[in-house]
Homo-oligomer: A and B are copies of this chain.
């Protein structure tokens, strides 16, 4: 129960000065091999671990960043894409010596708390995800001089537009999916569009509409739309039912996420529609759900690996005080059994 050893204890144990110990801790340049070895042995013996607060008081860096989920309703990680993002960022940031934490900012208390953590230096920065509309969080993290290092996963709306972000080209991907359904000869097209107060939700709907307007409207194809307020499986089930009530002859549907599409499949099965024979179904994300689905889902592959790398790059740049440009990534259509 004695006090944990400090750098002075290690120095005494190794027979060198604290400066030398500090140098070993920070890469060991300008230290003789003998001294370095003596210090390492002393650290081992004393079970020394550097004090986080003392170090970060000088460096003005904590080495910790947060992935912030700004959405309250959701079951957090119900959607495997969030989980994928978390793991990817975790590994990517570790290479740069940063630790990643997941945290929630879905009400006034948690939002305030997050901003304080950023301003007080507990966190070096944050990556925002699942932000809806013009979330008050945007204004809060844009305030101050310097403003906290915050980047956005997905395209921000409202005040958040001033944040650096990484997104995929949702609109053009949605166009491609829609054209694919038309090429399959489908005539009664539907979309289960995601929440219209998120960038991806809006863009995917726009892409669907624009592909329809361009190539389909003239040829007598009809289109139907249903919206959701989130990306949960349950909402996918409900929206699919609503869509079929509106359009009983529906023969193809583009669903704005794989998780929503999983729900849509449940409803279709329950209502006795065969996929893809009666209704073709396409998703978005190419998450594990698309491969596991029965039948396997045609979907859009988001380049998660690349997106993660870019998010890490943007965040580190912001922490370094720079102002990086937003990133837009291309997606790939993955055709499977459901269309």
Chain A interface residues toward B at CB < 8 A? 1-2, 4, 47, 49-57, 62-64, 66, 75-78, 80, 82-83, 86-87, 90, 94, 99-104, 109-110, 113, 116-117, 119-122, 144-146, 234, 288, 292
28 contacts between A and B (CB under 8 A): A2-B145, A49-B116, A49-B119, A49-B120, A52-B53, A52-B62, A52-B121, A53-B54, A53-B55, A53-B121, A54-B57, A64-B122, A75-B77, A75-B288, A76-B76, A76-B77, A76-B82, A76-B83, A76-B86, A77-B77, A78-B78, A78-B80, A90-B110, A94-B113, A99-B103, A99-B122, A101-B101, A101-B102
Copy number in the complex reads: 2
A288 — which chain B residues lie within 8 A by C-beta?
75
The 4 closest A-B pairs by CB, nearest first: A77-B77, A101-B101, A52-B120, A102-B102
Q: Which of A62, A63, A75, A100 has the most CB of B within 10 A?
A: A75
A62 — which chain B residues lie within 8 A by C-beta?
52-53, 122
Measured in the bound complex, the distance between the Cα atoms of B119 and A87 in whole Å is 23
Q: Which residue of B lies closest to A120 (CB)?
A: B52
Contacts A57-B57, A86-B104 known; A99 to B76 CB distance under 8 Å? no
A83 — which chain B residues lie within 8 A by C-beta?
75-78
Q: Which residue of B lies closest to A67 (CB)?
A: B102
Interchain nearest-CB distance for A236 vs B (Å): 14
Q: Which residue of B lies closest to A288 (CB)?
A: B75
A51 — which chain B residues lie within 8 A by C-beta?
57, 120-121
A116 — which chain B residues lie within 8 A by C-beta?
49
